[in-house]
Structure 1
């Protein structure tokens, strides 16, 4: 771990504080810092494209946040007859939200996605509204959902970057993280069947911690993977990449070899003005390569009002790459 010793502080008075690897021409990818969401590497990273079953990461998060894990879901005929990949739910069967979530994330069950949507949203349409509202809330500008499973629809689109951000956001939820990092799950409700995570890199447990697979004829192969190594955390997403397993390992290893975890500001108190002290409650650590370390500046925004808080920004040259709220004394 490295530390940037030289810190530059700029106090700005404000009236208020608001808080490839690609094989084909239309392939895209994004590699982001899993802590901050900063795009580290990419190709067509913001281009809209179908994402297939990577949709289910967002479906899982919305279901977790709007239902109880021990809720019993009565499987409808429509859910049981869902097109595509399945965990073989039967009409009239009662099964918990928790089991459906494991079937959704590990086995990519479209029937599980449909059942969760009906239960959580009151209807398929109601759940899709929840998905899109949450995407808007998190600023996923290139994302729009028309279903909870990722089956092809001309308007059901996202981007490699937005999809990577979906996984970042979802992993902040402890329940999602527990499910998404599971390699094998034995379902008591489904007659003791064991579900193995379809994500081959997660199965290998060699740096890949969580993720999701996807495929439709229209989308091609899609893949999202969260990697950890030596305190470095990145998320890789590829869309329409046929050699995705190898590409993900290559992209993650490249970032791990080129970037270090750098402490750009230590935890503590800093004198911002003659009568104002800024308290940073935890150190700011970012993934930076050697060239970027030279371009880091720390900027503090203060309010003219008697607010107890300010905003600490980290700029890489002229780009704001990280912000956090700080206490003023």
Structure 2
């Protein structure tokens, strides 16, 4: 084939490859929250002082304890967890934030501040420390303007993010949590916001220390040391050794509010308290609930615990579908279930189902676990070439394989994968042929040039001989 035709074929294949839909990447979505407070063998819940509170396990979304979790309250400065999350998602930590007149002047008298002035500049990193440690309200407003251009537009972004996270009863009007009758949320919604925040490494990095120094700026020649205010995080009588991150809040209208994240033995607990009369009551409630969770529940890694995933079987043993035993289904090592200590993993019922062809992810099937009729967790299964982590579909009910719709879904994905692979191979082959043609042509040119030089030299020699 002529190289011109090969180049045309290559262009066509590349265009086809780009137009052909790729297998979507696995979504790193967190499991939807599940209320386990009604499960059989539910451990006896403690008495708590907070009017409204929730204890949620972050990996699984399991609600282990709740009191008025969907009641709306004024959040005060725990609002700043959302402000920090949106800042981290939309900015580089090294960007420069310039404080406006509005950011530094439109504040309630006596509200938290680090005394910044109009035109002053700080990095996003410095601002986040001031936001979360000192609860500085002018910093919250400066970050809002930096991210969205105005405080009002940032509030729109906050509410969009809240809806995206599954918040049910949240409406934010400002980035700081200063008093506003329309600025409300719930313990449940704040747990979801904190759950999203702790997925961000930059957010957790801030809590690797309990003190920080704001450097000198263009408007202030002196540096400013600041320290963590959260009693469970800093040293002192309320310190809790497993606490990792959190935010305090207080206004006269809101009372004391608190959101805290603690980690122990693969368990990531989030506790939110709202409407407390004192900081002591919010700290005692939070500590009591953390101890309740860590002492009465156990985390199970599905890939390690469910022995069904440790066998090596083909996708269908009779080979009638795939015609090959190379493919298998594997479960992610990040799939977890949390259960009361009195409920063994072996007592769970599991149900296997194929994913539909239009699910929008690379999940081929899902196994769902339940206990006494209550769903306690699930794991997505994807195609794997690793024989060490496979799912024994042969042990699932026959009904799971009888649905033509489900089988069409998995066929669609595998056909999609095969066609893209074929196209990619063809592109590589055409490129290789073009390279070889180019190499051979260069070699041929060199030979022709060498032959031409040789003939030219012979001609000159003959002409010289005739002269003599």
Identify whether the pair has TM-score above 0.5, normalized to the shorter chain: yes
Instruction: Give me the whole-angstrom Cα distance separating, in 2, the residues matched to 1:269 and 1:61.
Output: 41
Give the root-mean-square deviation of aligned CA atoms: 2.6
Asked if 1:207 is matched to 2:242, the reply is: yes
Whole-Å separation in 1 of the counterparts to 2:263 and 2:355: 38
Counterpart of 1:260 (choices 275, 298, 307) is: 298
- Give the deviation of 1:247 after TM superposition: 1.6
Deviation at 1:320, TM superposition (A): 3.3
Give the deviation of 1:262 after TM superposition. 2.5
In proportion to residue count, which structure has more helix?
A: 2
Tell me which of 300, 316, 327 is aligned to 2:352. 300
8 Å contact kept, 1:114–1:149: yes
1:8 corresponds to: none
The match for 1:229 is 264
Decide whether the 8 Å contact of 2:170 with 2:189 is kept in 1: yes
Unaligned runs of 5+ in 2: 1-26, 30-45, 320-326, 385-468
Partner residue of 1:318 out of 370, 373, 376: 373
Q: 1:240 pairs with 255, 263, 275, which one? A: 275
When the two structures are superposed, what TM-score results if normalisation uses the length of structure 1?
0.86
Structure with a larger share of its residues in strand: 1
Question: What displacement does 1:111 show?
Answer: 0.7
> 1:145: Cα distance to partner?
0.7
* Range with greater deviation from structure 2 (89-98 or 267-276): 267-276
Provide closer, same or farther for how the CA distance between residues 327 and 80 of structure 1 changes in structure 2, counting only shifts above 3 A. same
For 2:59 and 2:363, locate their aligned partners in 1 and report how far apart those are by CA, in whole Å. 26
Matched, 1:91 2:118: yes
CA positional deviation for 1:304: 5.5
> SS of the residue aligned with 2:234?
helix
Structure 1 pair 137–186 and aligned structure 2 pair: CA distance change class (3 A): same
Paired with 2:224 and 2:259, the residues of 1 have a C-alpha distance of 26
The match for 2:6 is none
Aligned 8 A contact 2:75 2:254 in 1: yes
Aligned-partner Cα distance in 2 for 1:177–1:40:
23
The answer for the alignment partner of 1:216 in structure 2 is 251
By how many angstroms is 1:326 displaced?
A: 1.9
What TM-score results when the alignment is normalised by the length of structure 2?
Answer: 0.61
Determine helix, strand or coil for the equivalent of 2:156. Answer: helix
The answer (yes or no) to whether the contact 2:166–2:192 under 8 Å persists in 1 is: no
Listed as ranges, the gaps of 5+ residues in structure 1 are 1-17
Partner residue in 2 for 1:278: 329
- Could you tell me how far apart the structure 1 residues matched to 2:312 and 2:374 are? 23
Task: Report if the CA contact (8 A) 1:268-1:279 is conserved.
Answer: no
1:163-190 CA distance string (max 9 Å, x none): 1121111000111111244311122246
Equivalent residue, structure 2, for 1:6: none
Conserved? CA contact 1:268–1:282, under 8 Å = no
Deviation of 1:215 (Å): 0.5
Match of 1:33 in 2: 57
| 1:56-77 deviation digits (Å, cap 9, x = unpaired) | 0000010111122111111111
For the pair shown, the structure with the greater C-alpha radius of gyration is 2
Alignment size in residue pairs:
311
- Is the Cα contact below 8 Å between 1:107 and 1:196 reproduced in 2? yes
Pick closer, same or farther for the CA change 1:285–1:121 going to 2, 3 Å: same
CA shift digits 1:193-225 (9 cap, x unpaired): 221111011113611111000001111000111
